[in-house]
Amino acid sequence: MAVAVLLMALGLTVYFIIGFQQGKAQVESEWNATQVNKISNFGSTKTLSILPLVNWNTAHDRFKGEAGVSYLIKTDSQTLLFDVGFNAKGESPSPLQHNMQQLGITVNDIDSLFLSHHHLDHSGGQQWVNKNTISLGTKQVDLKGKTIYSPTAIEYPNTRVKVIPDASVVGPGLASIGAISRQLFMGRIEEQALAINVEGKGLVLIVGCGHQTLPKILQRTQQVFDEPIYGLVGDLHYPVPQGRLSLLGINLQRIFASGSGPLEPIEAATIENEIELLKKINPSLVALGSHDTSNEVIEDFSEAFGERYRYVRVGEWITLAK
């Protein structure tokens, strides 16, 4: 009996590894064949303010931190909610709602929502992912009159969901760089980043998890837009030496959601190479989130970019002006 169970487990492992490798090959083939939509003259904003509402690190103990992501993004003409956090403990109010209350922000302040990808730590929890929707808390709030921009088809009661798999304008000076596929061991995911054109400066990229990988994010942005990359704010999935989420002693973010699978997890050398790649872009602003990136890597980025680096902390604005 024990031998049969062992053989079955071994067979399943081999099955998943083969499927994973086939999925990776398919994604790369699609990436190489992709023809992107060029976006020109999509407007700009003179001001840009980014407020982390959910992330691991907080600016004050009155805020709740968690391994999830949400940003409030304000331009001259729009206020967007970028992702809706995790709410891993099923709290009411959720960390997102608690932090919004602390900061005096209501749903009425938000014009639209931008979903980077449909994982539990960006969609409000696995129960909502299972229902193919998102939620700011334990109950879905009224979002009537708002638009949710998603890279894949989801649903939300009485709310318009606009699926934008390709690079698309979502407002004056605001555009998605388009969904980029990644085959993770835990499954395939489509993730988009938000590009904001700040007048007189260039593009500021807002990234949710960075499953796309930094090289592909930069390549896609340069293919789609004429404007230079001025800054990057968000997570890039660097859980080295350890990530924020563990189960039974297994680091989930490093083993299953980054690198080239459980047998080839992401290593420090990859991060060093990508820091050098970003240096070649010469951004004036780098702000790395901490929900899927270790404190050690955050300090590496801080050292690499010096005065151009900003820490991402819940409740602490990152502001740019012309």
**CATH number for the domain harbouring residue 116:** 3.60.15.10
Counted domains in the chain = 2
Tokens of 84: 């809706």
Same domain as 153, residue 56: yes
Question: What local confidence, expressed as pLDDT, does residue 103 receive?
Answer: 98
Same domain as 4, residue 64: no
Same domain as 94, residue 21: no
Question: What local confidence, expressed as pLDDT, does residue 280 receive?
Answer: 97
Buried b (16+ CB within 10 A) or exposed e, 52-89: bbbbbbbeeeebbbbbbbbbbbbbeebebbbbbbbbbe
Rounded CA gap, 30 and 27, in Å? 5
CA 303 from centre of chain: 23
Same domain as 298, residue 315: yes
Contact 290, 300 (CB under 8 A): no
Rounded CA gap, 315 and 313, in Å? 6
- Other Cβ atoms less than 10 A from the Cβ of 146: the count is 18
Structural domain range at position 29:
1-33
Give this prediction's pTM: 0.94
Q: Write out residues in the chain with pLDDT < 70, as ranges.
A: 1-16, 322
Same domain as 231, residue 220: yes
Question: What local confidence, expressed as pLDDT, does residue 5 receive?
Answer: 39
Same domain as 11, residue 57: no
Same domain as 156, residue 84: yes
Rounded CA gap, 140 and 204, in Å? 30
- Other Cβ atoms less than 10 A from the Cβ of 172: the count is 15
Tokens of 14: 């081999």
Q: Of the candidates 10, 27, 77, which has an alpha carbon nearest to the alpha carbon of residue 216?
A: 27
Tokens of 99: 């932090």
Same domain as 42, residue 18: no
The crossing angle, in degrees rounded to 10, of helices 268-281 and 295-305 is 30
Same domain as 288, residue 169: yes
Same domain as 148, residue 1: no
Question: What local confidence, expressed as pLDDT, does residue 13 receive?
Answer: 52
Question: What local confidence, expressed as pLDDT, does residue 257 receive?
Answer: 81
Question: What local confidence, expressed as pLDDT, does residue 55 receive?
Answer: 98
| 3-state class percentages of the chain: helix first, strand second, coil last, to nearest 5 | 30, 25, 45
Same domain as 307, residue 253: yes
Same domain as 275, residue 258: yes
Helix (H) or strand (E) holding 128: helix 126-130
Question: What local confidence, expressed as pLDDT, does residue 4 receive?
Answer: 43
Cα-based distances in Å from 100 to 19, 89, 165, 217: 42, 18, 29, 29
